Structure 1
Protein backbone atom coordinates (compact mmCIF):
# COMPACT_ATOMS: atom_id res chain seq x y z
CA UNK A 1 0.00 0.00 0.00
CA UNK A 2 2.82 2.38 0.93
CA UNK A 3 4.59 1.76 -2.36
CA UNK A 4 1.43 2.51 -4.34
CA UNK A 5 0.82 5.78 -2.53
CA UNK A 6 4.48 6.77 -2.98
CA UNK A 7 4.25 6.04 -6.69
CA UNK A 8 1.12 8.15 -7.03
CA UNK A 9 2.64 11.14 -5.31
CA UNK A 10 5.67 10.82 -7.58
CA UNK A 11 3.33 11.12 -10.55
CA UNK A 12 1.58 14.08 -8.94
CA UNK A 13 4.92 15.76 -8.26
CA UNK A 14 5.79 15.27 -11.90
CA UNK A 15 2.54 16.92 -12.98
CA UNK A 16 3.18 19.81 -10.57
CA UNK A 17 6.57 20.37 -12.14
CA UNK A 18 5.00 20.46 -15.57
CA UNK A 19 2.43 23.02 -14.49
CA UNK A 20 4.77 25.29 -12.53
CA UNK A 21 8.04 25.36 -14.44
CA UNK A 22 8.45 27.50 -17.52
CA UNK A 23 10.60 25.94 -20.18
CA UNK A 24 12.66 28.76 -21.71
CA UNK A 25 14.01 28.11 -25.18
CA UNK A 26 17.20 30.13 -25.34
CA UNK A 27 20.69 29.62 -26.65
CA UNK A 28 22.00 30.81 -23.27
CA UNK A 29 19.75 28.69 -21.13
CA UNK A 30 19.75 24.95 -20.87
CA UNK A 31 16.72 23.24 -19.40
CA UNK A 32 15.79 19.61 -19.95
CA UNK A 33 12.59 19.36 -21.97
CA UNK A 34 9.68 17.89 -20.07
CA UNK A 35 6.93 16.36 -22.18
CA UNK A 36 3.57 17.34 -20.79
CA UNK A 37 1.31 14.27 -20.44
CA UNK A 38 -1.71 14.07 -22.73
CA UNK A 39 -5.29 13.65 -21.52
CA UNK A 40 -5.22 9.90 -22.10
CA UNK A 41 -2.26 9.60 -19.74
CA UNK A 42 -3.93 11.85 -17.17
CA UNK A 43 -7.08 9.74 -17.33
CA UNK A 44 -5.08 6.56 -16.85
CA UNK A 45 -3.28 8.08 -13.86
CA UNK A 46 -6.57 9.18 -12.32
CA UNK A 47 -7.97 5.65 -12.60
CA UNK A 48 -4.91 4.24 -10.85
CA UNK A 49 -5.28 6.81 -8.08
CA UNK A 50 -8.98 5.96 -7.82
CA UNK A 51 -8.21 2.25 -7.40
CA UNK A 52 -5.81 3.00 -4.58
CA UNK A 53 -8.42 5.24 -2.95
CA UNK A 54 -10.96 2.41 -3.04
CA UNK A 55 -8.47 0.20 -1.21
CA UNK A 56 -8.08 2.91 1.41
CA UNK A 57 -11.88 3.13 1.82
CA UNK A 58 -11.99 -0.63 2.36
CA UNK A 59 -9.34 -0.23 5.06
CA UNK A 60 -11.35 2.52 6.73
CA UNK A 61 -8.85 5.24 5.81
CA UNK A 62 -11.50 7.55 4.44
CA UNK A 63 -9.75 10.89 4.97
CA UNK A 64 -6.75 9.71 2.97
CA UNK A 65 -9.05 8.31 0.29
CA UNK A 66 -10.85 11.65 -0.03
CA UNK A 67 -7.55 13.48 -0.60
CA UNK A 68 -6.53 11.04 -3.33
CA UNK A 69 -9.92 11.15 -5.03
CA UNK A 70 -9.96 14.94 -5.05
CA UNK A 71 -6.57 14.87 -6.79
CA UNK A 72 -7.77 12.21 -9.24
CA UNK A 73 -10.83 14.29 -10.10
CA UNK A 74 -8.61 17.29 -10.87
CA UNK A 75 -6.88 15.12 -13.45
CA UNK A 76 -10.06 13.60 -14.83
CA UNK A 77 -13.25 15.44 -13.75
CA UNK A 78 -15.46 13.59 -16.24
CA UNK A 79 -14.91 10.14 -14.69
CA UNK A 80 -18.16 9.19 -12.93
CA UNK A 81 -16.56 6.36 -10.94
CA UNK A 82 -14.30 8.87 -9.18
CA UNK A 83 -17.25 11.01 -8.10
CA UNK A 84 -19.08 7.91 -6.84
CA UNK A 85 -16.05 6.77 -4.87
CA UNK A 86 -15.58 10.26 -3.44
CA UNK A 87 -19.22 10.29 -2.32
CA UNK A 88 -18.77 6.89 -0.66
CA UNK A 89 -15.69 8.07 1.25
CA UNK A 90 -17.53 11.25 2.27
CA UNK A 91 -20.53 9.26 3.50
CA UNK A 92 -18.25 7.08 5.62
CA UNK A 93 -16.60 10.22 6.98
CA UNK A 94 -20.01 11.62 7.94
CA UNK A 95 -19.72 14.36 5.31
CA UNK A 96 -23.19 13.72 3.99
CA UNK A 97 -23.84 17.11 2.40
CA UNK A 98 -20.51 17.00 0.57
CA UNK A 99 -21.44 13.50 -0.60
CA UNK A 100 -24.71 14.86 -2.00
CA UNK A 101 -22.73 17.49 -3.91
CA UNK A 102 -20.43 14.81 -5.34
CA UNK A 103 -23.43 12.72 -6.41
CA UNK A 104 -24.95 15.76 -8.11
CA UNK A 105 -21.78 15.98 -10.20
CA UNK A 106 -22.13 12.29 -11.02
CA UNK A 107 -25.75 12.78 -12.12
CA UNK A 108 -24.71 15.55 -14.50
CA UNK A 109 -22.23 13.14 -16.08
CA UNK A 110 -24.63 10.20 -16.23
CA UNK A 111 -28.25 11.22 -15.57
CA UNK A 112 -29.63 7.77 -16.45
CA UNK A 113 -27.74 5.86 -13.72
CA UNK A 114 -30.38 4.83 -11.19
CA UNK A 115 -27.93 3.81 -8.45
CA UNK A 116 -26.80 7.41 -8.03
CA UNK A 117 -30.37 8.43 -7.20
CA UNK A 118 -30.71 5.50 -4.78
CA UNK A 119 -27.48 6.51 -3.05
CA UNK A 120 -28.76 10.09 -2.68
CA UNK A 121 -31.96 8.68 -1.22
CA UNK A 122 -29.96 6.68 1.34
CA UNK A 123 -28.25 9.86 2.49
CA UNK A 124 -31.57 11.66 2.89
CA UNK A 125 -32.88 8.70 4.89
CA UNK A 126 -29.88 9.04 7.21
CA UNK A 127 -30.67 12.76 7.45
CA UNK A 128 -34.21 11.81 8.53
CA UNK A 129 -35.76 13.34 5.43
CA UNK A 130 -37.90 10.51 3.98
CA UNK A 131 -39.87 12.84 1.69
CA UNK A 132 -36.71 13.91 -0.11
CA UNK A 133 -35.51 10.31 -0.11
CA UNK A 134 -38.77 9.16 -1.67
CA UNK A 135 -38.39 11.74 -4.45
CA UNK A 136 -34.97 10.43 -5.48
CA UNK A 137 -36.05 6.79 -5.14
CA UNK A 138 -38.88 7.43 -7.58
CA UNK A 139 -36.44 9.18 -9.92
CA UNK A 140 -34.30 6.06 -9.88
CA UNK A 141 -37.31 3.79 -10.42
CA UNK A 142 -38.29 5.81 -13.48
CA UNK A 143 -34.95 4.73 -14.95
CA UNK A 144 -35.16 1.12 -13.78
CA UNK A 145 -38.60 -0.10 -12.74
CA UNK A 146 -37.20 -3.58 -12.01
CA UNK A 147 -34.87 -2.60 -9.17
CA UNK A 148 -35.53 -4.64 -6.04
CA UNK A 149 -33.22 -2.30 -4.15
CA UNK A 150 -35.22 0.72 -5.29
CA UNK A 151 -38.53 -0.71 -4.10
CA UNK A 152 -36.90 -1.81 -0.82
CA UNK A 153 -35.73 1.77 -0.24
CA UNK A 154 -39.17 3.07 -1.18
CA UNK A 155 -40.74 0.75 1.40
CA UNK A 156 -38.35 2.02 4.06
CA UNK A 157 -39.17 5.63 3.22
CA UNK A 158 -42.89 4.84 3.47
CA UNK A 159 -42.33 3.27 6.91
CA UNK A 160 -40.62 6.46 8.06
CA UNK A 161 -43.65 8.38 6.77
CA UNK A 162 -45.99 5.95 8.60
CA UNK A 163 -47.52 4.87 5.29
CA UNK A 164 -47.62 1.17 6.14
CA UNK A 165 -49.90 0.07 3.32
CA UNK A 166 -47.75 1.80 0.72
CA UNK A 167 -44.66 0.28 2.33
CA UNK A 168 -46.14 -3.22 2.05
CA UNK A 169 -46.83 -2.68 -1.65
CA UNK A 170 -43.24 -1.56 -2.23
CA UNK A 171 -41.73 -4.51 -0.33
CA UNK A 172 -43.95 -6.98 -2.19
CA UNK A 173 -42.76 -5.53 -5.51
CA UNK A 174 -39.17 -5.85 -4.36
CA UNK A 175 -39.50 -9.51 -3.34
CA UNK A 176 -41.46 -10.29 -6.51
CA UNK A 177 -38.55 -9.00 -8.61
CA UNK A 178 -36.06 -10.95 -6.50
CA UNK A 179 -37.50 -13.69 -4.30
CA UNK A 180 -34.14 -14.03 -2.51
CA UNK A 181 -34.09 -10.41 -1.37
CA UNK A 182 -34.76 -11.32 2.25
CA UNK A 183 -34.56 -7.73 3.54
CA UNK A 184 -37.86 -6.84 1.86
CA UNK A 185 -39.54 -9.98 3.17
CA UNK A 186 -38.22 -9.23 6.65
CA UNK A 187 -39.55 -5.67 6.54
CA UNK A 188 -42.96 -6.96 5.48
CA UNK A 189 -42.88 -8.84 8.77
CA UNK A 190 -42.01 -5.65 10.67
CA UNK A 191 -45.08 -3.93 9.26
CA UNK A 192 -47.43 -6.88 9.76
CA UNK A 193 -46.54 -7.02 13.44
CA UNK A 194 -47.23 -3.30 13.89
CA UNK A 195 -50.59 -3.91 12.18
CA UNK A 196 -51.36 -6.65 14.75
CA UNK A 197 -50.99 -9.44 12.20
CA UNK A 198 -48.68 -11.65 14.28
CA UNK A 199 -49.35 -14.82 12.28
CA UNK A 200 -48.40 -13.12 9.01
CA UNK A 201 -45.36 -11.51 10.65
CA UNK A 202 -44.13 -14.91 11.86
CA UNK A 203 -44.55 -16.31 8.34
CA UNK A 204 -42.47 -13.50 6.84
CA UNK A 205 -39.69 -13.74 9.42
CA UNK A 206 -39.47 -17.51 8.95
CA UNK A 207 -39.22 -17.07 5.19
CA UNK A 208 -36.54 -14.40 5.51
CA UNK A 209 -34.63 -16.65 7.91
CA UNK A 210 -34.67 -19.50 5.40
CA UNK A 211 -32.96 -17.23 2.88
CA UNK A 212 -30.47 -15.63 5.27
CA UNK A 213 -29.42 -16.62 8.77
CA UNK A 214 -29.24 -12.93 9.69
CA UNK A 215 -29.67 -11.69 13.25
CA UNK A 216 -32.64 -9.43 12.43
CA UNK A 217 -35.26 -11.95 11.24
CA UNK A 218 -33.91 -14.38 13.87
CA UNK A 219 -34.52 -11.97 16.73
CA UNK A 220 -37.73 -10.54 15.31
CA UNK A 221 -39.16 -14.05 14.96
CA UNK A 222 -38.21 -14.87 18.55
CA UNK A 223 -39.82 -11.65 19.80
CA UNK A 224 -43.12 -12.28 18.01
CA UNK A 225 -43.22 -15.94 19.07
CA UNK A 226 -42.56 -14.92 22.69
CA UNK A 227 -45.32 -12.29 22.50
CA UNK A 228 -47.80 -15.00 21.41
CA UNK A 229 -46.96 -17.07 24.51
CA UNK A 230 -44.57 -19.34 22.66
CA UNK A 231 -41.84 -19.34 25.29
CA UNK A 232 -40.21 -22.58 24.18
CA UNK A 233 -36.49 -23.39 24.26
CA UNK A 234 -36.50 -22.86 20.48
CA UNK A 235 -37.75 -19.27 20.92
CA UNK A 236 -35.22 -18.46 23.65
CA UNK A 237 -32.33 -19.98 21.68
CA UNK A 238 -33.31 -17.98 18.61
CA UNK A 239 -33.11 -14.78 20.64
CA UNK A 240 -29.82 -15.75 22.28
CA UNK A 241 -28.16 -16.64 18.97
CA UNK A 242 -29.38 -13.39 17.40
CA UNK A 243 -27.85 -11.24 20.14
CA UNK A 244 -24.61 -13.22 20.05
CA UNK A 245 -24.48 -12.69 16.28
CA UNK A 246 -25.28 -8.96 16.50
CA UNK A 247 -25.34 -7.51 20.03
CA UNK A 248 -26.36 -4.09 18.66
CA UNK A 249 -29.97 -5.30 18.56
CA UNK A 250 -30.11 -5.09 22.35
CA UNK A 251 -30.25 -1.30 21.91
CA UNK A 252 -33.60 0.40 21.31
CA UNK A 253 -31.77 3.13 19.41
CA UNK A 254 -30.32 0.57 17.00
CA UNK A 255 -33.73 -1.08 16.63
CA UNK A 256 -35.19 2.30 15.66
CA UNK A 257 -32.50 2.75 13.01
CA UNK A 258 -33.54 -0.61 11.57
CA UNK A 259 -37.10 0.80 11.36
CA UNK A 260 -38.55 -1.38 14.10
CA UNK A 261 -41.92 -0.08 15.24
CA UNK A 262 -42.83 0.74 18.81
CA UNK A 263 -44.80 -2.47 19.28
CA UNK A 264 -41.86 -4.69 18.28
CA UNK A 265 -39.46 -2.65 20.41
CA UNK A 266 -41.71 -2.96 23.46
CA UNK A 267 -42.14 -6.68 22.88
CA UNK A 268 -38.36 -7.01 22.62
CA UNK A 269 -37.98 -5.53 26.09
CA UNK A 270 -40.40 -8.10 27.52
CA UNK A 271 -38.35 -10.91 25.96
CA UNK A 272 -35.07 -9.43 27.22
CA UNK A 273 -36.47 -9.43 30.78
CA UNK A 274 -37.02 -13.18 30.72
CA UNK A 275 -34.72 -14.90 33.24
CA UNK A 276 -33.28 -17.16 30.51
CA UNK A 277 -32.16 -14.05 28.60
CA UNK A 278 -30.49 -12.09 31.44
CA UNK A 279 -26.94 -13.32 30.84
CA UNK A 280 -26.88 -12.88 27.06
CA UNK A 281 -28.60 -9.48 27.30
CA UNK A 282 -26.04 -8.31 29.84
CA UNK A 283 -23.15 -9.51 27.63
CA UNK A 284 -24.67 -7.82 24.57
CA UNK A 285 -24.94 -4.49 26.42
CA UNK A 286 -21.33 -4.75 27.56
CA UNK A 287 -20.13 -5.41 24.01
CA UNK A 288 -21.75 -2.30 22.56
CA UNK A 289 -20.61 0.10 25.31
Structure 2
Protein backbone atom coordinates (compact mmCIF):
# COMPACT_ATOMS: atom_id res chain seq x y z
CA UNK A 1 0.00 0.00 0.00
CA UNK A 2 1.51 3.39 -0.99
CA UNK A 3 2.43 5.79 1.74
CA UNK A 4 1.00 9.28 1.69
CA UNK A 5 2.82 12.17 3.33
CA UNK A 6 0.67 14.42 5.43
CA UNK A 7 -0.05 17.58 3.47
CA UNK A 8 0.38 19.64 6.60
CA UNK A 9 4.01 18.42 6.87
CA UNK A 10 4.73 19.60 3.35
CA UNK A 11 3.21 22.99 4.09
CA UNK A 12 5.25 23.36 7.27
CA UNK A 13 8.39 22.50 5.34
CA UNK A 14 7.53 25.14 2.77
CA UNK A 15 7.04 27.71 5.53
CA UNK A 16 10.52 27.03 6.84
CA UNK A 17 12.41 27.68 3.65
CA UNK A 18 10.16 30.60 2.68
CA UNK A 19 11.05 32.53 5.80
CA UNK A 20 13.69 35.24 5.18
CA UNK A 21 16.88 35.33 7.19
CA UNK A 22 16.67 37.40 10.34
CA UNK A 23 18.26 40.86 10.07
CA UNK A 24 19.25 42.68 13.26
CA UNK A 25 17.12 45.77 14.00
CA UNK A 26 14.58 44.60 11.38
CA UNK A 27 11.24 46.27 11.97
CA UNK A 28 9.08 43.84 9.92
CA UNK A 29 8.09 40.37 11.13
CA UNK A 30 9.31 37.47 8.97
CA UNK A 31 6.77 36.21 6.43
CA UNK A 32 5.07 32.92 7.26
CA UNK A 33 2.76 30.81 5.11
CA UNK A 34 -0.86 31.24 6.15
CA UNK A 35 -2.94 28.07 5.91
CA UNK A 36 -6.49 28.63 4.73
CA UNK A 37 -8.37 26.16 6.94
CA UNK A 38 -11.69 26.59 5.15
CA UNK A 39 -10.10 26.00 1.78
CA UNK A 40 -8.27 22.89 2.98
CA UNK A 41 -11.47 21.49 4.44
CA UNK A 42 -13.26 22.14 1.17
CA UNK A 43 -10.53 20.22 -0.66
CA UNK A 44 -10.84 17.43 1.89
CA UNK A 45 -14.58 17.14 1.37
CA UNK A 46 -14.05 17.07 -2.39
CA UNK A 47 -11.58 14.20 -1.98
CA UNK A 48 -14.05 12.41 0.28
CA UNK A 49 -16.69 12.72 -2.41
CA UNK A 50 -14.30 11.24 -4.96
CA UNK A 51 -13.53 8.37 -2.57
CA UNK A 52 -17.23 7.68 -2.04
CA UNK A 53 -17.82 7.58 -5.80
CA UNK A 54 -14.91 5.19 -6.30
CA UNK A 55 -16.24 2.97 -3.52
CA UNK A 56 -19.56 2.72 -5.33
CA UNK A 57 -17.66 0.99 -8.14
CA UNK A 58 -15.75 -1.20 -5.66
CA UNK A 59 -12.48 0.60 -6.38
CA UNK A 60 -11.50 0.52 -2.74
CA UNK A 61 -7.73 0.66 -3.37
CA UNK A 62 -8.20 4.00 -5.14
CA UNK A 63 -10.75 5.29 -2.65
CA UNK A 64 -8.74 4.64 0.52
CA UNK A 65 -5.84 7.06 -0.09
CA UNK A 66 -8.26 9.82 -1.00
CA UNK A 67 -10.28 9.21 2.14
CA UNK A 68 -7.18 9.13 4.29
CA UNK A 69 -6.00 12.45 2.87
CA UNK A 70 -9.49 13.86 3.32
CA UNK A 71 -9.31 13.16 7.05
CA UNK A 72 -6.08 15.16 7.22
CA UNK A 73 -7.61 18.10 5.39
CA UNK A 74 -10.94 17.97 7.25
CA UNK A 75 -10.01 16.36 10.57
CA UNK A 76 -13.06 17.65 12.43
CA UNK A 77 -15.62 16.30 9.97
CA UNK A 78 -17.22 13.14 11.35
CA UNK A 79 -18.59 12.10 7.94
CA UNK A 80 -15.09 11.96 6.46
CA UNK A 81 -13.87 9.71 9.28
CA UNK A 82 -17.01 7.58 8.89
CA UNK A 83 -16.25 7.19 5.18
CA UNK A 84 -12.67 6.13 5.92
CA UNK A 85 -13.86 3.65 8.54
CA UNK A 86 -16.36 2.21 6.09
CA UNK A 87 -13.69 1.75 3.43
CA UNK A 88 -11.39 0.00 5.89
CA UNK A 89 -14.34 -2.19 6.85
CA UNK A 90 -14.96 -3.11 3.21
CA UNK A 91 -11.30 -4.01 2.77
CA UNK A 92 -11.40 -6.09 5.97
CA UNK A 93 -8.84 -3.92 7.78
CA UNK A 94 -10.85 -4.12 10.96
CA UNK A 95 -8.46 -2.52 13.45
CA UNK A 96 -8.07 0.54 11.23
CA UNK A 97 -11.82 0.61 10.67
CA UNK A 98 -12.51 0.67 14.41
CA UNK A 99 -9.96 3.43 14.99
CA UNK A 100 -11.48 5.62 12.27
CA UNK A 101 -15.05 4.93 13.33
CA UNK A 102 -14.28 5.74 16.96
CA UNK A 103 -12.85 9.06 15.78
CA UNK A 104 -16.10 9.71 13.89
CA UNK A 105 -18.05 8.79 17.03
CA UNK A 106 -15.98 11.20 19.14
CA UNK A 107 -16.89 14.00 16.74
CA UNK A 108 -20.58 13.08 16.56
CA UNK A 109 -21.95 10.71 19.18
CA UNK A 110 -25.45 10.91 17.71
CA UNK A 111 -24.70 9.17 14.40
CA UNK A 112 -26.33 5.75 14.66
CA UNK A 113 -24.76 4.56 11.41
CA UNK A 114 -21.29 4.92 12.94
CA UNK A 115 -22.38 2.68 15.82
CA UNK A 116 -23.82 0.12 13.42
CA UNK A 117 -20.53 0.12 11.49
CA UNK A 118 -18.59 -0.38 14.74
CA UNK A 119 -20.88 -3.28 15.48
CA UNK A 120 -20.13 -4.78 12.07
CA UNK A 121 -16.37 -4.41 12.55
CA UNK A 122 -16.54 -6.18 15.91
CA UNK A 123 -18.88 -8.84 14.56
CA UNK A 124 -16.47 -9.70 11.76
CA UNK A 125 -13.70 -9.98 14.34
CA UNK A 126 -15.96 -12.43 16.21
CA UNK A 127 -16.25 -10.06 19.16
CA UNK A 128 -19.99 -10.62 19.35
CA UNK A 129 -20.60 -9.07 22.76
CA UNK A 130 -19.01 -5.78 21.71
CA UNK A 131 -20.92 -5.95 18.43
CA UNK A 132 -24.21 -6.39 20.28
CA UNK A 133 -23.46 -3.43 22.54
CA UNK A 134 -22.75 -1.15 19.58
CA UNK A 135 -25.92 -2.29 17.80
CA UNK A 136 -27.95 -1.71 20.97
CA UNK A 137 -26.58 1.81 21.34
CA UNK A 138 -27.23 2.56 17.68
CA UNK A 139 -30.80 1.35 17.98
CA UNK A 140 -31.39 3.72 20.89
CA UNK A 141 -30.73 6.52 18.42
CA UNK A 142 -32.43 4.85 15.45
CA UNK A 143 -34.87 2.31 16.91
CA UNK A 144 -36.66 1.40 13.68
CA UNK A 145 -33.60 0.69 11.56
CA UNK A 146 -34.34 -2.60 9.82
CA UNK A 147 -30.74 -3.63 9.21
CA UNK A 148 -29.69 -2.54 12.70
CA UNK A 149 -32.36 -4.78 14.19
CA UNK A 150 -31.27 -7.63 11.93
CA UNK A 151 -27.61 -7.18 12.84
CA UNK A 152 -28.41 -7.21 16.55
CA UNK A 153 -30.35 -10.41 15.98
CA UNK A 154 -27.29 -11.95 14.33
CA UNK A 155 -25.10 -10.91 17.27
CA UNK A 156 -27.54 -12.53 19.70
CA UNK A 157 -27.58 -15.58 17.41
CA UNK A 158 -23.80 -15.95 17.71
CA UNK A 159 -23.99 -15.42 21.48
CA UNK A 160 -26.48 -18.28 21.73
CA UNK A 161 -29.29 -15.97 22.84
CA UNK A 162 -31.82 -17.51 20.46
CA UNK A 163 -35.13 -16.13 21.84
CA UNK A 164 -33.66 -12.62 21.77
CA UNK A 165 -32.33 -13.20 18.25
CA UNK A 166 -35.77 -14.26 16.99
CA UNK A 167 -37.33 -11.22 18.69
CA UNK A 168 -34.94 -8.88 16.84
CA UNK A 169 -35.53 -10.64 13.52
CA UNK A 170 -39.28 -10.28 14.01
CA UNK A 171 -38.84 -6.57 14.77
CA UNK A 172 -36.88 -6.20 11.54
CA UNK A 173 -39.71 -7.86 9.61
CA UNK A 174 -42.23 -5.60 11.35
CA UNK A 175 -40.35 -2.66 9.85
CA UNK A 176 -40.09 -4.24 6.39
CA UNK A 177 -42.41 -7.10 5.53
CA UNK A 178 -40.22 -8.02 2.54
CA UNK A 179 -36.96 -8.22 4.48
CA UNK A 180 -36.43 -11.90 3.81
CA UNK A 181 -32.94 -12.26 5.42
CA UNK A 182 -34.52 -11.94 8.88
CA UNK A 183 -37.19 -14.49 7.99
CA UNK A 184 -34.48 -16.81 6.64
CA UNK A 185 -32.48 -16.58 9.85
CA UNK A 186 -35.49 -17.42 11.98
CA UNK A 187 -35.64 -20.58 9.87
CA UNK A 188 -31.98 -21.29 10.60
CA UNK A 189 -32.65 -21.11 14.34
CA UNK A 190 -35.75 -23.25 14.18
CA UNK A 191 -33.94 -25.96 12.22
CA UNK A 192 -31.17 -26.15 14.81
CA UNK A 193 -33.80 -26.35 17.54
CA UNK A 194 -35.33 -29.37 15.82
CA UNK A 195 -38.42 -27.53 14.56
CA UNK A 196 -38.06 -28.51 10.90
CA UNK A 197 -41.67 -27.72 10.05
CA UNK A 198 -41.29 -24.26 11.53
CA UNK A 199 -38.09 -23.75 9.56
CA UNK A 200 -39.75 -24.87 6.33
CA UNK A 201 -42.55 -22.33 6.82
CA UNK A 202 -40.02 -19.53 7.30
CA UNK A 203 -38.03 -20.49 4.19
CA UNK A 204 -41.18 -20.84 2.12
CA UNK A 205 -42.17 -17.33 3.16
CA UNK A 206 -38.69 -16.01 2.31
CA UNK A 207 -38.67 -17.61 -1.14
CA UNK A 208 -42.15 -16.27 -1.86
CA UNK A 209 -40.83 -12.76 -1.17
CA UNK A 210 -37.77 -13.17 -3.42
CA UNK A 211 -37.71 -16.07 -5.82
CA UNK A 212 -34.08 -15.30 -6.73
CA UNK A 213 -32.85 -15.58 -3.13
CA UNK A 214 -30.58 -18.62 -3.29
CA UNK A 215 -30.03 -19.06 0.46
CA UNK A 216 -33.57 -19.76 1.67
CA UNK A 217 -34.25 -21.75 -1.49
CA UNK A 218 -31.32 -24.10 -0.79
CA UNK A 219 -32.20 -24.37 2.90
CA UNK A 220 -35.79 -25.21 1.96
CA UNK A 221 -34.55 -27.78 -0.55
CA UNK A 222 -32.43 -29.53 2.07
CA UNK A 223 -35.25 -29.53 4.61
CA UNK A 224 -37.75 -30.95 2.12
CA UNK A 225 -35.28 -33.64 1.06
CA UNK A 226 -34.65 -34.65 4.67
CA UNK A 227 -38.39 -34.69 5.25
CA UNK A 228 -38.76 -37.22 2.43
CA UNK A 229 -39.77 -35.03 -0.51
CA UNK A 230 -36.63 -35.90 -2.44
CA UNK A 231 -37.81 -34.99 -5.94
CA UNK A 232 -38.92 -31.46 -5.03
CA UNK A 233 -35.92 -30.99 -2.78
CA UNK A 234 -33.39 -31.86 -5.50
CA UNK A 235 -35.19 -29.68 -8.06
CA UNK A 236 -35.18 -26.70 -5.68
CA UNK A 237 -31.57 -27.29 -4.70
CA UNK A 238 -30.45 -27.36 -8.32
CA UNK A 239 -32.33 -24.11 -8.94
CA UNK A 240 -30.71 -22.46 -5.92
CA UNK A 241 -27.20 -23.40 -7.03
CA UNK A 242 -27.86 -22.15 -10.55
CA UNK A 243 -28.69 -18.78 -8.99
CA UNK A 244 -25.60 -18.66 -6.77
CA UNK A 245 -23.06 -21.46 -6.69
CA UNK A 246 -21.32 -20.02 -3.61
CA UNK A 247 -23.94 -21.82 -1.52
CA UNK A 248 -22.34 -25.13 -2.48
CA UNK A 249 -19.43 -24.17 -0.21
CA UNK A 250 -19.97 -25.32 3.37
CA UNK A 251 -17.56 -22.70 4.72
CA UNK A 252 -19.58 -20.00 2.99
CA UNK A 253 -22.76 -21.39 4.53
CA UNK A 254 -21.14 -21.39 7.97
CA UNK A 255 -20.21 -17.72 7.49
CA UNK A 256 -23.89 -17.12 6.80
CA UNK A 257 -24.77 -18.61 10.21
CA UNK A 258 -25.88 -22.06 9.09
CA UNK A 259 -25.80 -24.31 12.15
CA UNK A 260 -24.20 -27.73 12.58
CA UNK A 261 -27.40 -29.71 12.06
CA UNK A 262 -28.27 -27.96 8.80
CA UNK A 263 -24.65 -28.08 7.61
CA UNK A 264 -24.50 -31.84 8.20
CA UNK A 265 -27.70 -32.39 6.21
CA UNK A 266 -26.54 -30.01 3.48
CA UNK A 267 -23.20 -31.81 3.12
CA UNK A 268 -25.06 -35.05 2.30
CA UNK A 269 -27.47 -33.17 0.05
CA UNK A 270 -24.67 -31.61 -2.01
CA UNK A 271 -23.21 -35.05 -2.68
CA UNK A 272 -26.41 -36.25 -4.40
CA UNK A 273 -25.98 -37.03 -8.12
CA UNK A 274 -28.73 -34.59 -9.11
CA UNK A 275 -27.05 -31.74 -7.23
CA UNK A 276 -23.60 -32.64 -8.53
CA UNK A 277 -25.04 -32.58 -12.04
CA UNK A 278 -26.40 -29.07 -11.49
CA UNK A 279 -23.01 -27.90 -10.23
CA UNK A 280 -21.24 -29.46 -13.22
CA UNK A 281 -23.75 -27.86 -15.54
CA UNK A 282 -22.92 -24.45 -14.08
CA UNK A 283 -19.17 -25.14 -14.39
CA UNK A 284 -19.57 -26.18 -18.03
CA UNK A 285 -21.61 -23.05 -18.75
CA UNK A 286 -18.95 -20.82 -17.18
CA UNK A 287 -16.21 -22.54 -19.18
CA UNK A 288 -18.06 -22.01 -22.44
CA UNK A 289 -18.64 -18.32 -21.62
CA UNK A 290 -15.29 -17.07 -20.28
CA UNK A 291 -16.38 -13.45 -20.65
CA UNK A 292 -19.33 -13.94 -18.32
CA UNK A 293 -18.55 -12.37 -14.93
CA UNK A 294 -21.88 -13.15 -13.28
Same fold per superposition (TM over 0.5):
yes
Deviation sequence 1:206-258 (CA, Å, 0-9, x none): 111122221111111111111111112x4322211211222111111111100
Aligned to 2:183: 185
Q: How does 1:197-208 map to 2 (within 5 A)?
A: 197-208=195-206
Deviates more, 1:138-147 or 1:251-260: 138-147
Residues 1:172 and 2:166 aligned together: no
Aligned pairs, how many? 270
Deviation sequence 1:141-173 (CA, Å, 0-9, x none): 121222221221111111111222221111111
Q: How big is the alpha-carbon RMSD for the aligned residues of Structure 1 and Structure 2?
A: 2.8
C-alpha distance in 2 between matches for 1:248 and 1:153: 22
Q: Contact (CA 8 Å) 2:238, 2:274: kept in 1 or not? A: no
Aligned to 1:225: 224
Q: How does 1:1-289 map to 2 (within 5 A)?
A: 16=10, 20-21=14-15, 22=18, 38-212=36-210, 213-232=212-231, 234-282=232-280
**Shift in Å, 1:103:** 0.4
CA distance 1:98–1:13, shift in 2 (3 Å): closer
**Shift in Å, 1:38:** 3.1
CA distance 1:102–1:161, shift in 2 (3 Å): same
**Shift in Å, 1:281:** 3.5
C-alpha distance in 1 between matches for 2:224 and 2:73: 58
Q: Contact (CA 8 Å) 2:144, 2:175: kept in 1 or not? A: yes
TM-score calculated relative to the size of structure 2:
0.82
Tell me, which stretches of 5 or more residues in structure 1 are unaligned?
1-8, 27-32
C-alpha distance in 2 between matches for 1:97 and 1:270: 38
